[in-house]
């Protein structure tokens, strides 16, 4: 109705401008938003990109688990050493390669006992991770690293190997040194 009235008065310049404004508003009301086809196309593109990226992300998370386990073992070695010195008692970091577990014990009244703190619980290695232990002492089936009250430690190498063949090693070269993490031949003193 407004448009017809404007068309009737199409001779004046002001009327032509108003006519264009009305037409522009009607067109902009129709073109607000996206069509269903556009939305589906964007979803297809996103799905394709994610499908291509997913296999590489899986490997990233697996290698992070291996490095997290190494950092956790390193934290246990640091805790055991400081507790052994401060309490004047022997601590052990025990490993069970068959069960892929590790835990701390302390010499309490002549017997090794599990600790009653968070660091004393039994930790599991990530799924499909193998332990490679060199230089550890052995007591029956279990292998361990001893942390003495004088601040010395059993020199050893602990290797963690995942199913893809990635290797992270914790290494202590001498009884008076601390453990450090080695990845890809690079030494990371104190952590990753």
- Per-residue model confidence (pLDDT) at position 189: 52
Q: 3-class DSSP state for residue 6? A: helix
- Per-residue model confidence (pLDDT) at position 23: 60
- Per-residue model confidence (pLDDT) at position 20: 61
- Per-residue model confidence (pLDDT) at position 166: 86
Side-chain half-sphere of 187: how many Cα atoms within 13 Å?
Answer: 8
- Per-residue model confidence (pLDDT) at position 191: 46
- Per-residue model confidence (pLDDT) at position 183: 79
CA atoms of 179 and 78, how far apart (whole Å): 8
Q: Which residues contact 120 (CB under 8 A, 6 or more apart)?
A: 103, 104, 105, 114
CATH number for the domain running over 59-189? 3.55.40.10
Give me the residue spans of the domains in the chain.
Answer: 59-189
Q: Which residues of the chain have pLDDT under 70?
A: 1-31, 56-63, 184-192
Nearest to 60 by CA among 72, 71, 51, 68: 68
Q: 3-class DSSP state for residue 91? A: strand
- Per-residue model confidence (pLDDT) at position 146: 94
- Per-residue model confidence (pLDDT) at position 4: 54
- Per-residue model confidence (pLDDT) at position 18: 64
């Amino acid at each position: 109705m407004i448009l017809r009235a404007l068309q009737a008065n199409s001779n004046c310049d002001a009327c032509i401008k108003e006519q264009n404004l009305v037409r522009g508003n009607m067109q902009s009301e129709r073109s607000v938003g996206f069509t269903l086809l556009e939305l589906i196309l964007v979803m297809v593109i996103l799905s394709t990109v994610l499908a291509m990226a997913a296999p590489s992300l899986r490997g990233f998370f697996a290698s992070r688990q291996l490095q997290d386990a190494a950092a956790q073992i390193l934290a246990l070695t640091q805790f055991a050493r400081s507790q052994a010195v401060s309490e004047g008692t022997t601590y052990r970091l025990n490993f069970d390669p068959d069960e892929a577990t590790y835990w701390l014990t302390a010499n309490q009244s002549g017997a090794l006992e599990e600790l009653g703190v968070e660091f004393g619980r039994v930790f599991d290695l990530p799924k499909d991770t193998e332990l490679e232990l060199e230089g550890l002492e052995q007591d029956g089936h279990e292998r361990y690293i001893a942390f003495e009250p004088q601040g010395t430690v059993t020199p050893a190498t602990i290797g963690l190997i995942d199913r893809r063949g990635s290797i992270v090693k914790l290494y202590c070269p001498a009884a008076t040194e601390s453990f450090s993490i080695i990845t890809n031949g690079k030494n990371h003193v104190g952590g990753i």
